[in-house]
């Protein structure tokens, strides 16, 4: 048996054999160019037993599908899911699980005040205390948070940089921007209503950078 030969690809982006970085699919680059039958010399090519053994071995050893799945589900943050995104969370330093504080009014009767209860068509019935205040983000919002945190990790902390993070976190929601108070304070202003989970993202994830010693305040302008 003779070893396979891989045609090299001249590309400025670099590569390994016929694998071109940024172009060739993981698993498909070498796998498509490599044909195990080409390695069998002619005197053994018609041996059913030998070719069956080689075919079975290649079927067991070929990791093209597994590499493609690993790349899509873990390595590529744009397509990663589930555990793959959790791995990215450990890399960039932000958890999928947030603690949500429940502070809301429920339906009440005449003896209840407006501070603790609301009438019909305004607030829901009380269904009991929550078992846990922890909330796990779904894959898509978690992916957005990961990308924003990755950008925050390399951000210079300037207002334009922070505003870019805000735009990526809340696209199409309305104006969101950061202002410098000039007295070691800064304000994140949102001209739309933030959901409890969004408040948790902003307050717990560390996705919004701020200079050391500067206090930051979140303001909602409705």
Segment 45-79, tens digit of pLDDT: 889 999 999 888 888 887 778 888 899 999 999 89
Q: How many whole angstroms separate alpha carbon 25 and alpha carbon 8?
A: 16
DSSP string, the chain: -----------TT-EETTEETTTSPTTHHHHHH--GGGGS-GGGTT-HHHHHHHHHHHHHH--HHHHHHHIIIII-TTT--THHHHHHHHHHT--SEEEPP----EE--TTS-TTTEE-TTTSPPP----S--EEEPPHHHHHHHHHHHHHHHT----HHHHHHHHHHHSTTS--EEEEE-SSSEEEEEESSPPPHHHHHHHHHS--S---TT-EEEEEE--
Question: What's the N-to-C CA distance of the chain in angstroms?
Answer: 75
Q: Are 186 and 214 a contacting pair, CB within 8 Å?
A: yes
Segment 19-40, tens digit of pLDDT: 555 555 554 444 455 677 888 8
Average pLDDT, stretch 117-130? 54
Q: Does pLDDT of 141 surpass 90?
A: no
Closest CA to 202 of 186, 192, 191, 188: 188
Which residue has better confidence, 84 or 130? 84
pLDDT tier at 90, thresholds 50, 70, 90: very high
- Global pTM reads 0.57
* pLDDT value, residue 209: 82
Q: Does pLDDT of 151 surpass 90?
A: no
pLDDT tier at 6, thresholds 50, 70, 90: very low
Q: What percent of the chain has pLDDT over 90?
A: 13
- Phi and psi of 84, rounded to 5°? -60, -40
Q: How many whole angstroms separate alpha carbon 195 and alpha carbon 179?
A: 22
Q: Does pLDDT of 84 surpass 90?
A: yes
Length of the chain: 222
């Amino acid at each position: 048996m003779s070893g396979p030969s891989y045609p090299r690809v001249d590309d400025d982006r670099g590569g390994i054999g016929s694998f071109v970085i940024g172009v060739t699919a993981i698993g498909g680059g070498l796998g498509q160019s490599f044909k195990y039958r080409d390695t069998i010399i002619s005197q053994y090519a018609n041996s059913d037993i030998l070719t069956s053994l080689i075919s079975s071995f290649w079927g067991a050893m070929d990791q093209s599908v597994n590499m493609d799945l690993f790349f899509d589900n873990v390595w590529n943050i744009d397509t990663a899911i589930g555990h793959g995104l959790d791995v990215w969370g450990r890399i960039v330093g932000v958890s999928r699980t947030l603690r949500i504080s429940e502070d809301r009014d429920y339906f009440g009767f005449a003896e209840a005040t407006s501070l603790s209860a609301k009438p019909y068509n305004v607030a829901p019935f009380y269904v009991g205390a929550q078992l846990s205040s922890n909330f796990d983000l779904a894959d898509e919002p978690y992916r957005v948070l990961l990308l924003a945190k990755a950008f925050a990790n390399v951000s210079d902390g300037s207002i334009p940089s922070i505003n870019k993070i805000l735009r990526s976190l809340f696209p199409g929601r309305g104006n969101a921007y950061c202002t410098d108070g000039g007295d070691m304070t800064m304000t994140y202003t949102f001209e739309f209503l933030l959901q409890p989970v969004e408040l948790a993202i902003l307050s717990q994830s560390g996705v919004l950078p701020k200079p050391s010693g500067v206090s930051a305040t979140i303001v909602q302008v409705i």
